[in-house]
Amino acid sequence: MQNNNLPNPTKDVKPFFLGFLAEVQGQWDQSKANEFRSILETKGFTLSDEDFKTGLEQAKVHFHDGDVHLFICTGKHCSPKFQADSDNEAYQSFQREYQGKISLTKCQNHCEEAPALTLRIKKDSRLFIEWGEASETKNVLDFLIRASKEGSLAID
């Protein structure tokens, strides 16, 4: 019999776990985990200790999957600011040239500075926030392309 509280995509809790992992750059302490669990409860997700731990571990595995992995926040503050316009040359270039995995998350907890995304390359990760203007968007997308191709966040 299926446990209805177990983290799974049909309950839409996995994107919240991924958002948390992106927020904490893949590492957390018990205090941060407790804060996150409280946030989940306010959103209607009441998980057993075992299911919460499983959700964290599954998200950690997903966070570290691949050498290059981009996590795009689709929370209510970020999503409207990060709508890929198919006519926008910067987005078209990004879609052609970016070399890595892409995962959609829920809130990465930077709502005041939306939009937010996190790029992880190997063991390093970097958060990008407050880049909603067209020129900033192009610069961020260009950086993501270059970093994904070079396999490093340490590019000029």
Residue 8 has pLDDT above 50, yes or no: no
Residues composing the chain? 156
Amino acid at 71: F
pLDDT at residue number 5? 44
- Dump strand ranges (E) for the chain: 68-73, 101-105, 116-121, 124-129
Mean of pLDDT over the chain:
85
**The predicted structure's pLDDT at residue 81:** 66
pLDDT digits (tens, 9 = 90+) for 20-32: 999 999 999 999 9
DSSP letter string, 102-114: EEEES--S-GGG-
The CB-side HSE value for 111 (13 A sphere, CA atoms) comes to: 6
Section 117-129 average pLDDT: 93
pLDDT of res. 2: 38
Q: Determine the angle formed by the axes of helices 49-63 and 30-42, rounding to 10 degrees.
A: 110
Task: Return d(Cα 114, Cα 6) in angstroms, integer.
Answer: 30
In this prediction the pTM is: 0.83
Element (H, E) at 49: helix 49-63
In the predicted model, is pLDDT for residue 58 greater than 70? yes
CA dihedral 49, 54, 57, 63 (to 10 degrees): -120
Domain ranges of the chain: 9-63, 68-150
Q: What is the mean pLDDT of residues 109-126?
A: 89
CATH superfamily for 68-150 is Glutaredoxin (3.40.30.10)
Query: Across the strands, what pairs with 117?
Result: 72, 128
The per-residue pLDDT for 10 is 37
pLDDT digits (tens, 9 = 90+) for 59-117: 999 999 999 999 989 888 877 766 644 456 777 788 889 999 999 999 998 888 878 88
- How far apart CA 123 and CA 134 sit, in angstroms, is 30
pLDDT over 90 at 148, yes or no: yes
